[in-house]
């Protein structure tokens, strides 16, 4: 962190020197003293971290100096330290943007010490926020967030680019685990709204009775237990982006309220009367086919059209061909780096195994599989035996993910049920309506 | 019999933290206050109330820090233009009191052990 520069502006040599000496007791502070308003204004180019300003200066008043500082360097905090005990003067200076106002008395020492500490802490936090924002920006930069070069994913890139340039509502669809939330973040952090908040809310995770207050907020006293005013997610997002994940799970009553807010571009907090302008950009996502939901009467047609905006479809991983290997390598590299493991490559058999699997859990599942394989592999190559698929969603789909003989299918079915029922042979035999001896024989012959 | 001390450096000691700092401030006080006092007297003799009040205002914080209690209320009677105007009839005695008290303070300070110790 660069030096914390304190400018002390004081024409009384005694008081000025005393402040300078006292503040300099902190070795992290660099203090420079000025006796006139003109002098300090001429030195503002040195970028002081804070200015301690006497109200009565020989050449101009503290108010004039304060105004000029705020005009040219609005972020520099100015503390007025004055012999003036007049409250109206203090109030006026605070209204003009002074950080604080201290009367020169026995308490000045502690007050100025605390104020400088608070300002320093605040500057440190602001810098940390800037760094974090920059890191988030990098993290969600296009190439870092979505990997792949298949034709399917290139279509997605094109759509994201179109979304970034405008404020159109974006509706993202895709199976679970395809990265809908990442696309929403990529749109936000690469758009001109990135300096404002990204507020995500999973509609399916919030009880339907609470969703309205979560989205729109409520006023104090609007219902039993409303002991304070709550700002809703739309307001919280400000000029940023609000991401409504699993929008297909929203109940019809709430859908109509959302539609009204989107049409009017303003909302009223529950129990409130004043209108709050809605300026956030809306991105929605669902794993459901909303058009089908409309046909089934579970989703309002008018809201469907309102939300359609720019549709982005995220293809399932199994349709992305070689992207599976690109992503697999990325996840392994990332995991090894994070865990200080040597770099590992994928054997030919491992690649074949990955390409023949259906990935019902999509990218999320692939990530978990590759992290486990990196742990399981002993050398610097991940082999097919290091890769295991254990998706709970594996039902009959897994039978069709690769061609096999009838005998092969039989083996896989029995193996699947043995895994599922903890190797309880009696139970599996009953479930499949085959003899126990068949399973015992296959086990003995190492067929399964 | 020794005259009662007109100042108290307890507050100043708290602010400065060490003997070196206190000594430095006492020297600055002895150097700068007579100059301001001279200007204040000039303001008084030339009837320049603006100058007089500005100098009094400048002195106020130092006198408070040095805990010169005798002048606590006195200096506040002339530290602003409007205060001087409302105390015009007492002005000569106020200026007299400021002068004599501060002259006594200067004399006492010159005998201050902390200053005598300095090399």
ipTM of the complex: 0.82
Contact B65 A22 (CB under 8 A): no
Question: Boundaries of CATH 3.40.50.2300 in chain A?
Answer: 4-131
- Dist. CA B20–CA B22, nearest whole Å: 6
Task: State pLDDT tens for residues A36-61.
Answer: 999 999 999 999 999 999 988 888 98
Contact B24 A21 (CB under 8 A): yes
Q: What pLDDT is attached to residue B118?
A: 61
- Dist. CA B84–CA A112, nearest whole Å: 31
C-beta separation of A236 from A197 below 8 A? yes
Chain A partners within 8 Å of B62 (Cβ)? 12, 14-15
Contact B25 A17 (CB under 8 A): yes
Question: Boundaries of CATH 1.10.8.60 in chain A?
Answer: 322-444
Q: What pLDDT is attached to residue A8?
A: 96
DSSP symbol at A270: B
Query: In this complex, is the C-beta atom of A27 within 8 Å of any C-beta atom belonging to chain B?
Result: no
Chain B partners within 8 Å of A17 (Cβ)? 24-25, 28
What backbone phi and psi angles, to 5 degrees, belong to A10?
Answer: -155, 125
Q: Are strands A100-103 and A170-174 parallel, antiparallel or unpaired?
A: unpaired
DSSP A395-438: STHHHHSS---HHHHHHHHHHHHHHHTTT-HHHHHHHHT--HHH
Alpha-carbon gap: B77 to the closest alpha carbon of chain A (Å): 13
Chain B partners within 8 Å of A109 (Cβ)? 14-15
Alpha-carbon gap: A25 to the closest alpha carbon of chain B (Å): 8
The CATH number that domain A322-444 falls under is 1.10.8.60
CATH number of A4-131, picked from 1.10.760.10, 3.40.50.720, 3.40.50.2300, 3.90.1300.10: 3.40.50.2300
Question: How far out from the chain centre does Cα A33 lie?
Answer: 44
- Dist. CA A261–CA A287, nearest whole Å: 24
What backbone phi and psi angles, to 5 degrees, belong to B10?
Answer: -60, -50
The CATH number that domain A144-315 falls under is 3.40.50.300
Contact A15 B61 (CB under 8 A): yes
C-beta separation of A337 from A383 below 8 A? no
Q: What pLDDT is attached to residue A2?
A: 66
Alpha-carbon gap: B65 to the closest alpha carbon of chain A (Å): 7
Contact A22 B16 (CB under 8 A): yes
* Residue A160 CB-half CA count within 13 A: 25
pLDDT band for position A388 (cuts 50, 70, 90) = confident
Chain A partners within 8 Å of B54 (Cβ)? 56, 58
C-beta separation of B60 from B79 below 8 A? yes
C-beta separation of B16 from B114 below 8 A? no
- Dist. CA A9–CA A50, nearest whole Å: 11
Q: What pLDDT is attached to residue A35?
A: 92
Contact A17 B14 (CB under 8 A): no
In b/e form, how buried is each residue of A327-338, taking b as 16+ CB within 10 angstroms? bbbbbbbebbee
Question: Boundaries of CATH 3.40.50.300 in chain A?
Answer: 144-315
The answer on pLDDT for A395 being more than 80 is no
Positive or negative torsion for Cα A361, A366, A368, A372: positive
Query: In this complex, is the C-beta atom of A88 within 8 Å of any C-beta atom belonging to chain B?
Result: no
Q: What pLDDT is attached to residue A441?
A: 85
Q: Is the pTM of this model over 0.90?
A: no
Provide CB contacts within 8 A for A25, sequence distance 6+.
B17
Task: State pLDDT tens for residues B52-72.
Answer: 999 998 899 899 999 999 999
Strands (E), A252-371: 266-268, 275-277, 281-286, 310-314, 345-346
Q: Are strands A310-314 and A381-382 parallel, antiparallel or unpaired?
A: unpaired
* pLDDT per 10-residue tile (average), chain B, 119 residues: 82 85 92 95 95 92 92 93 92 96 95 75
Nearest beta carbon to residue A14 from set B14, B17, B32: B32
* B57: helix, strand or coil: helix
Task: State pLDDT tens for residues A57-87.
Answer: 888 988 999 999 999 999 999 999 988 777 8
Query: In this complex, is the C-beta atom of A25 within 8 Å of any C-beta atom belonging to chain B?
Result: yes
Chain A partners within 8 Å of B17 (Cβ)? 22, 25
Alpha-carbon gap: B89 to the closest alpha carbon of chain A (Å): 24
């Amino acid at each position: 962190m660069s030096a914390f520069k304190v400018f002390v502006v004081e024409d009384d040599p005694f008081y000025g020197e005393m402040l300078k000496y006292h503040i300099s007791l902190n070795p992290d502070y660099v203090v420079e003293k000025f006796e006139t308003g003109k002098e300090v204004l001429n030195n503002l180019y040195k970028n002081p971290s804070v200015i301690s300003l006497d109200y009565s200066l020989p050449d101009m008043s503290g108010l004039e100096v304060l105004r000029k500082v705020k005009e040219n360097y609005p972020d520099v905090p100015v503390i007025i330290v004055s012999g003036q005990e007049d409250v109206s003067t203090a109030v006026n200076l605070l209204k003009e943007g002074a950080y604080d106002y201290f009367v020169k008395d026995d308490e000045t020492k502690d007050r100025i010490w605390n104020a400088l500490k608070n300002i320093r802490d605040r500057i440190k936090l602001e810098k940390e926020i800037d760094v974090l924002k920059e890191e988030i920006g990098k993290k969600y930069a296009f190439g870092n967030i979505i990997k792949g070069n298949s034709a399917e994913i290139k279509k997605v890139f094109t759509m994201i680019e179109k979304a970034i340039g405008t404020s159109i509502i974006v509706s993202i669809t895709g199976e679970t685990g395809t990265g809908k939330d990442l696309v929403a973040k990529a749109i936000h952090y690469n758009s001109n709204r990135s300096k404002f908040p990204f507020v995500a809310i999973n509609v399916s995770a919030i009880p339907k009775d609470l969703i309205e207050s979560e989205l729109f907020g409520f006023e104090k006293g609007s219902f039993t237990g409303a002991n304070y005013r709550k700002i809703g997610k739309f307001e919280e997002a400000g000029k940023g982006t609000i991401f409504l994940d699993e929008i297909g799970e929203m109940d019809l009553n709430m859908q109509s309220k959302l539609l009204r807010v989107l049409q009017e571009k303003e909302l009223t907090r529950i129990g409130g009367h004043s209108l709050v302008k809605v300026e956030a950009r809306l991105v929605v996502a669902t794993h459901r086919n909303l058009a089908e939901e409309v046909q089934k009467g579970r989703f309002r047609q008018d809201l469907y059209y309102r939300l359609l905006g720019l549709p982005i479809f995220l293809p399932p991983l199994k349709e992305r061909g070689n992207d599976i290997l690109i992503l697999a390598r990325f996840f392994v590299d990332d995991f090894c780096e994070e865990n200080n493991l040597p770099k590992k490559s994928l054997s030919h058999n491992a690649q074949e195994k990955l390409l023949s699997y259906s990935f019902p859990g999509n990218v999320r599942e692939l990530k978990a599989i590759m992290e486990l394989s990196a742990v399981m592999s002993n050398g610097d190559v991940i082999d097919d035996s290091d890769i295991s698929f254990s998706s709970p969603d594996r039902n009959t789909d897994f039978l069709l993910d690769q061609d096999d003989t009838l005998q092969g299918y039989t083996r896989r079915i029995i193996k699947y049920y043995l895994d599922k029922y903890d190797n309880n042979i009696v139970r599996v035999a009953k479930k499949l309506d085959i003899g126990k001896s068949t399973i015992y024989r296959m086990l003995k012959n190492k067929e399964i | 019999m020794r005259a009662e001390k007109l100042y108290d450096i307890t507050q100043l000691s708290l602010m400065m933290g060490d003997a070196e700092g206190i000594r430095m401030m006492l020297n600055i006080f002895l150097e700068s206050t007579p100059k301001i006092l001279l200007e204040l007297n000039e303001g008084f003799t030339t009837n320049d109330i603006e100058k007089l009040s500005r100098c009094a205002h400048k002195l106020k914080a130092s006198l408070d820090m040095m805990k010169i209690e005798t002048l606590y209320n006195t200096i506040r009677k002339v530290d602003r233009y409007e205060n001087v105007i409302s105390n015009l009839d007492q002005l000569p005695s106020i200026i007299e009191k400021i002068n004599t008290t501060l002259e006594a303070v200067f004399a006492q300070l010159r005998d201050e052990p902390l200053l005598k110790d300095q090399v």
